[in-house]
């Protein structure tokens, strides 16, 4: 499989969602359900004041995370999945949804949780470094960053392991790893600001 070399643009995701409203089966996959449960269980705080989820897609994980947040901003690079995310999260008054293509369109604010689930490997190495810099600049004191990545083969610019390791390396002076685990086909890394 030939790997892409540049960050994948939002048009790629818009086309995927035009063909299938849930292209990765987030709402029905047992793999996704287990990964979401493990992600939530690994978060070190029972509640977060102001959380940011990058790459929320159709809002399945967003709706599960919402009860643990006073405020949750969930963003996605594509507009199409946000329609379903709004429907799915409408009962959560604390959730805001927006279209944003990170790292360039980084939202304002300070966050005590930044969740990057299955997104960093869509970026090339330069954009991962920029993403890490922006996350560090927006992370509250003792704030948490959670990274989740598929570790199987893809044609994305980075593998799941490469994406996670590069992101962590960029933040090594400001965070400590408080949780690291591998599940079937994914890795989960939780970082805490020193």
Nearest 5 degrees, angle CA 116-CA 120-CA 125?
145
Contact 24, 58 (CB under 8 A): no
β-partners of residue 76 are: 99
Question: Nearest CA to 159 among 191, 120, 127?
Answer: 120
Tens digit of each residue's pLDDT (9 = 90 or more) over 21-48: 999 999 999 999 999 999 999 999 999 9
Q: Is the pLDDT assigned to residue 96 strictly greater than 80?
A: yes
Tens digit of each residue's pLDDT (9 = 90 or more) over 126-182: 999 999 999 999 999 999 999 999 999 999 999 999 999 999 999 999 999 999 999
Look at the pTM and tell me if it is higher than 0.95: yes
| 91 backbone dihedrals φ, ψ, rounded to 5° | -80, -10
Over its C-alpha atoms, the chain yields an Rg (Å, rounded) of 15
CATH of segment(s) 32-193: 3.40.50.150
User: Is residue 31 classed as helix, strand or coil in its secondary structure?
Assistant: helix
Per-chain mean pLDDT for the chain: 97
Proportion of the chain above pLDDT 90, given as a percent: 99
Can you give the residue ranges of every domain in the chain? 32-193
């Amino acid at each position: 499989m030939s790997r892409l070399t540049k960050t994948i643009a939002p048009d790629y995701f818009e086309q995927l969602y035009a063909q299938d409203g849930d292209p990765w089966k987030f709402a029905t996959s047992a793999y996704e359900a287990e990964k979401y449960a493990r992600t939530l269980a690994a978060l070190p705080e029972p509640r977060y004041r102001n959380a940011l989820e990058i790459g929320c897609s159709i809002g399945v994980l967003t709706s599960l995370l919402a009860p643990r947040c006073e405020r949750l901003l969930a963003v996605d690079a594509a507009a199409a999945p946000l329609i379903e995310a709004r429907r799915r999260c409408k009962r959560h008054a604390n959730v805001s949804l927006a279209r944003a293509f990170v790292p360039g369109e980084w939202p304002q604010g300070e966050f005590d949780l930044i969740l990057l689930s299955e997104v960093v490997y869509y970026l090339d190495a330069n954009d991962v470094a920029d993403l890490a810099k922006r996350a560090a600049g927006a992370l509250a004191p003792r704030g948490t960053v959670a990274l989740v990545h598929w570790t199987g083969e893809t044609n994305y610019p980075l593998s799941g392991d490469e994406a996670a390791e590069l992101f962590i390396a960029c933040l090594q002076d400001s965070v400590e790893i408080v949780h690291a685990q591998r599940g079937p086909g994914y890795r989960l890394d939780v970082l805490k600001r020193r």
